[in-house]
Structure 1
Amino acid sequence: MEIERINDNTVKFYISYLDVEERGFSRDEIWFNRDKSEELFWEMMDEVNEEADFVMEGPLWIQVQAMDKGLEVTVTRAQLTKDGQKIDLPDDIEERRKMFGGDDAAASEFDEFEPIFDEPDLKKLEYTFVFSEVDELLLLARRLMYVPIESALYHFENKYYLYVGFDELLHSESDVKDNISIFTEYLQSSPITIHRLEEYGKPIFKKDALANVLHYFG
């Protein structure tokens, strides 16, 4: 695992999928098994603490970028006090989970924390997918050509990203689930948000991406 200390409150590290597997985790586990993903994360953070002297105090803001051969993780520590005292993270994973994600009162202090590896939320209405060539969208675009889905296409760090959004008035939860299953047949989901793509990516089609791909490339 490669570790880079950015400043006093931010550290970035890269872990390859091979390293993930050598630690006893599979790629599927880190994306779809919450317990395993959290176990891996805190294991990595313990290593970061030892090598980069990055003490975990207070809530953590985490950004994960999925890459071809691994994951790049940026962790920023926020200073937070409670009754004038700094809140330290417990050593036990279960206690950390209660602090960050449980239903008890302590969890409310960490509302802005988001787990880095979470199961796909079929109730949400926005998704991002990553792929290598625009041609990969053709079959998908043909299958969904009559489905009213908001879509945008961006180029970012040598990859293409497709953002899709569903109108809650037009799509039920089951509709979203069915359509997302079609997207995942052709593309890999990505944790990168549309806001990051809009800020740093190069827009190819800012709207109606699927229709435009069919028009220009089909």
Structure 2
Amino acid sequence: MKIERLSSDKIRIFLTFDDLTERGIQKEDMWQEIPKVHDLFTEMMDQAYTELGFDATGPLAVEVFALPAQGMVVIVTRGKYDQHLGTMNEDDLADEIYEMEVTLEETDFIAYSFKDFETLIEAAHTLSQNVTEAGRLYHYKDQWVFTLDPAEVDMSKHAALIAVLAEFGDATSVTEAMLEEYGKVVMPENAVQVICEHFKRND
């Protein structure tokens, strides 16, 4: 579970499928009002407070984005604290903390980050066995982020491609919009082919 602050009132939490499995939660459970999901959310908010000092008091808007292979991204936005709550007792306040508006979306966007370019070169040469005319490369927060639009590749090859990306890189929760706004586009298209043509893998 990775947590990062986006603004004073907004955080992003990245949950891997292992995080969910460990807690006995299926992807489909995330938008249901069941105890184990509530427990997971409580755990996330406790960790957010411990790591970032994010106080989840008041109504929260929760957006859950299901990624095809990496896991889930949960965006939590804190509403404005109602001054009238100051007169409530602690039991009432506890109920208010988890007054959530949850929306769920699925995205096909696949993104993996690489700390060094040499590792990315190795990954690209391995990927080229299954696909060449695909991929987009960004530089974002001192890392190389390789993204893949599943529409560019054969559905039957998705699992193999993701297995390679997971072997060499790290699944990242960054969104396409974040990359476009804050990252630098290094290779706008056919990143696999471009890397393989210009960079040789280490023998």
Q: Which TM-score tier does this pair reach, normalised by the shorter chain?
A: 0.5 to 0.7
**SS at the partner of 2:76?**
strand
| TM-score using structure 2 length | 0.58
- Matching residue of 1:30: 19
- Matching residue of 2:57: 55
Is the Cα–Cα contact under 8 Å of residues 132 and 190 in structure 2 kept in the other structure? Answer: no
Percent identity, aligned pairs only? Answer: 24
Identify if the C-alpha distance between structure 1 residues 137 and 89 changes in structure 2 by more than 3 Å, giving closer, same or farther: farther
**SS at the partner of 1:167?**
helix
Task: Please report the RMSD computed on the Cα atoms of aligned residues, expressed in angstroms.
Answer: 4.3
Distance in 2 (alpha carbons) for counterparts of 1:152 and 1:4: 26
List gaps (5 residues or longer) in structure 2.
Answer: 26-35, 66-73, 81-91
List gaps (5 residues or longer) in structure 1.
Answer: 15-26, 64-72, 80-87, 101-108, 115-120
Identify if the C-alpha distance between structure 1 residues 41 and 139 changes in structure 2 by more than 3 Å, giving closer, same or farther: same
Deviation per residue, 1:50-89 (Å, 9 max, x gap): x7654242432479xxxxxxxxx9731358xxxxxxxx99
Is the Cα–Cα contact under 8 Å of residues 154 and 197 in structure 1 kept in the other structure? Answer: yes
1:134 to 2:117 alignment: yes
Identify if the C-alpha distance between structure 1 residues 178 and 4 changes in structure 2 by more than 3 Å, giving closer, same or farther: closer
Identify if the C-alpha distance between structure 1 residues 149 and 55 changes in structure 2 by more than 3 Å, giving closer, same or farther: farther
| TM-score using structure 1 length | 0.55
Deviation per residue, 1:159-195 (Å, 9 max, x gap): 1111111227x522x4212221122121111111122
Deviation per residue, 1:113-143 (Å, 9 max, x gap): 56xxxxxx8xx64300011111112222222
- Matching residue of 1:158: 142
Distance in 1 (alpha carbons) for counterparts of 2:12 and 2:185: 28
Identify if the C-alpha distance between structure 1 residues 89 and 29 changes in structure 2 by more than 3 Å, giving closer, same or farther: farther
Distance in 2 (alpha carbons) for counterparts of 1:5 and 1:135: 30
Distance in 2 (alpha carbons) for counterparts of 1:28 and 1:3: 18
Is the Cα–Cα contact under 8 Å of residues 61 and 78 in structure 1 kept in the other structure? Answer: no
**SS at the partner of 1:155?**
strand
